[in-house]
Amino acid sequence: MQSKPLQTDGPSRISGQGTLPERKLDLKQRVFDEVIKFLAIAFYLWVMFGVFALHESVVSAKDHINYHFYGFAVINALILGKVMLVAQDLRFADWIKDRPLVYPILCKAAAFSILFIVFDVVEEVLVGVFRGKTIGESIPTIGGGTPSGVFFVGIILAIALIPFFAFREIGRVIGERALHALMFTGGPEAGAFRRP
């Protein structure tokens, strides 16, 4: 979401650029927008990872295994939230954004689930090497360490990311304010989308 620069009456504009206060205001607005985007992404990922950790805790309790997941969801949400924000700024998985919405939603969900798995492996290897382990010892066992396990973790991640990308893509098409009004306020912008 980008804000429009303020208009001035005087000749203080130089070759299409705003005055210094206008540029500072525009920069502050962009920083604010990026922080809000990051917090929204991190919150969604925190909920998603929290549900995964809660599920693992319930399954472990069935076998009388004491499982603690404190901090796991928050830390992963913050790290992967930043990865996701940077990837979106780099237009990662924007290949088919002009097709019907189902395609970019599914494509982004699948692409970002693969990105998350790759990033998790790279992160674990770097941490392991930093702690003196070999690369082979540092590779995490995702989904039990089998190719099918990794595939199924990717499927679970992709399905969990579909609502996030559905919300983002619909907002891109109808406008973020209109979508927010439709979902949360029922304000005047939402009225245009209601059936008579």
**For the residues 132-140, what does the mean pLDDT come to?**
82
Beta strands in 14-115 (DSSP E): none
Contact residues for 39 (Cβ-Cβ < 8 A; gap 6+): none
Highest mean pLDDT among 139-148, 151-160, 181-190: 151-160
Q: Is the pLDDT of residue 145 over 90?
A: no
Handedness of CA 157, 163, 164, 169 (dihedral sign): positive
**Quick check: 80 and 114 in contact, CB under 8 A?**
no
Considering the entire predicted model, what is its pTM?
Answer: 0.74
Highest mean pLDDT among 10-14, 158-162, 171-175: 158-162
* Alpha helical stretches, state H, 134-185: 135-138, 147-174, 176-180
DSSP SS3 for 17? strand
Measuring CA to CA, which residue among 112, 119, 135 is closest to residue 79? 119
Per-residue pLDDT band for 2 (boundaries 50, 70, 90) equals very low
Q: In this predicted model, what pLDDT tens digit does every residue of 75-117 receive, in sequence order?
A: 888 889 999 989 988 888 888 878 899 999 999 999 999 999 9
Q: What percent of the chain has pLDDT over 70?
A: 78
The lowest-confidence range among 15-29, 54-68, 152-166 is 15-29
* Orientation of helix 147-174 relative to helix 20-62, angle to 10°: 140
Tokens of 57: 């805790």
- Using alpha carbons only, give the angle 113, 179, 95 rounded to the nearest 5 degrees: 40
**For the residues 32-58, what does the mean pLDDT come to?**
87
Report the Cα–Cα distance between both ends of the chain, in Å, rounded. Answer: 30
User: Rounded to an integer, what distance in angstroms lies between the CA atom of residue 42 and that of residue 35?
Assistant: 10
Rg, C-alpha atoms of the chain: 21
Tokens of 54: 């809660």
User: Rounded to an integer, what distance in angstroms lies between the CA atom of residue 94 and that of residue 44?
Assistant: 20
**Per-domain residue ranges of the chain:** 19-90, 94-196
In terms of pLDDT, which residue wins out, 188 or 174?
174
Spacing of C-alpha 106 from chain mean position: 14
